[in-house]
Amino acid sequence: MKFLYRRLIFYVVALWATITLNFFLPRLMPGSPAQALMAKFAGRLNPLELKSIAIAFGLDVHQSLWQQYVTYLGQLAHGNLGVSLTFFPTPVIKVVEQALPWTIGLVGISTVISFILGMAMGGISSWYHGKSFDSITTTFFTFTYAFPYFWIALALLYGLGYLWGIFPLSGAYTNGLTPGFNGPFLGSVVGHAILPALTIVFTSVGYWAVTMRNTMVATISQDYVSLAVAKGLKTRKVLVGYAGRNALLPNLTGFAMSLGFIVSGAILTEIVFSYPGVGYLLYQAVQQEDYPLIQGILLIIAISVLCANFLADLMYAYLDPRVSKEGNQ
């Protein structure tokens, strides 16, 4: 418990640092974001509206930097990330809320599938260490990992989407369907997600498979694994309970990191498929110089990376007694 307590304190401090950086970074940039913002609305809004926007963004020139910072923290505490310029006058939090489920659904599920598939394939390859099955799968996975994923995305889109028309070309569901729990809509969502999911899994599974294979090969040569065989334990038990569990641990950290970055989306994949996720949103925000939106998305990405790492710590503490229990030597 002491371990988790210490970690929790660390994450609170890290969160504060993230928020603070997120506040100061745009203010350190040459050319104030506030001016860029005002320039965008010049002529479209009356001075009163401009002033209220400036206050809403914490860009009120009459406040000192410290006062602005306190206001910013206060707004954050109420879940207020400001108003998006691109989708004016929708608040940033609403814009991100709309994109988030699509990204978490697509990238999240693909990442989990890719990780589980990679762990299983890597584990199996390592059991055939030195045999041709291992050489073939390892070479194949190194090849897929090295593949540029936007290329695969474009090739799949052109072949399966455009030429043969098996899968839709863009979007997350067919326009005109009523979003909700109904058959046609869910079917359409799955149909639209298959191609982007396939590209993500195809290009990321290799990484997990190759790293798992390498940690497994090192673990299998440990005495406790060969002793488990000598004790007459069933092969399944040896592979999963003794070798697999130990080899999984170093991979968990990488997995947690990738879980955190799910929220940032697979930007290129989402762009190629015009998928309405956070990655595509970030791309749009950057193009439109939508500072509040960029800032909001970056903050949410940073928070989710922290959460994912905390999750990894929890898993580690649960799976590895050396981390959490007393009596370390």
Partner 1 sequence: MRDVILDVDQLTVQYRTRREPLTAVDHVSFSIQRGEIMGLAGESGSGKTTVAQAIARLNSGSTVVRGNVRVNGVDWLGADAHSLRELRWKRLSLVTQSVMGALNPLTTIGTQFNDTLEAHGERDRKKMRERGQNLLGLVGLSSDLLRAYPHQLSGGMRQRVGIAMALMFNPDLIIMDEPTTALDVVVERDLLGQIKGLQHRFQFAVLFITHDLSLLFRLADRIAIMYAGQLVEEGPVNRINQRQAHPYTRGLIRAFPSISAGKQMQKGIPGNPPSLTNMPSGCRFFPRCPMAADACAKSEPPWLAIPGDPSSGVKCFRWEEVYDE
CA distances from 100 to 115, 225, 316 (A): 21, 43, 27
Interface characters, 168-207, with partner 1 (x: CB under 8 A): ----------------------------------------
Interface characters, 110-139, with partner 1 (x: CB under 8 A): --------------------x---------
d(CA 319, CA 311): 12
Q: Would you say how long the chain is, in residues? A: 329
Nearer to partner 1, 184 or 241 (CB): 241
Nearer to partner 1, 42 or 230 (CB): 230
Q: Which residue has the tokens 């006058």?
A: 89
**Residue 327 interacts with partner 1 (CB under 8 A)?**
yes
148: left (phi over 0), alpha (psi -120 to 50) or beta: beta
SS3 57: coil
Interface characters, 206-225, with partner 1 (x: CB under 8 A): ----------------xxx-
**Residue 230 interacts with partner 1 (CB under 8 A)?**
yes
219 and 228 in contact (C-beta within 8 Å)? no
With CB under 8 A as the contact rule, the residue among 146, 169, 227, 257 that binds partner 1 is 227
Name beta bridge partners: 83: 91
Nearer to partner 1, 128 or 147 (CB): 128
158 and 195 in contact (C-beta within 8 Å)? no
**Size of interface with partner 1, in residues (CB under 8 A):** 27
Sorted by sequence, the CB contacts under 8 Å of residue 127 that are 6+ apart come out as 216, 220, 239
**Residue 6 interacts with partner 1 (CB under 8 A)?**
no
Q: Which residues bind partner 1 (CB under 8 A)?
A: 130, 222-224, 226-234, 237, 241-242, 245-246, 249, 319-322, 325, 327-329
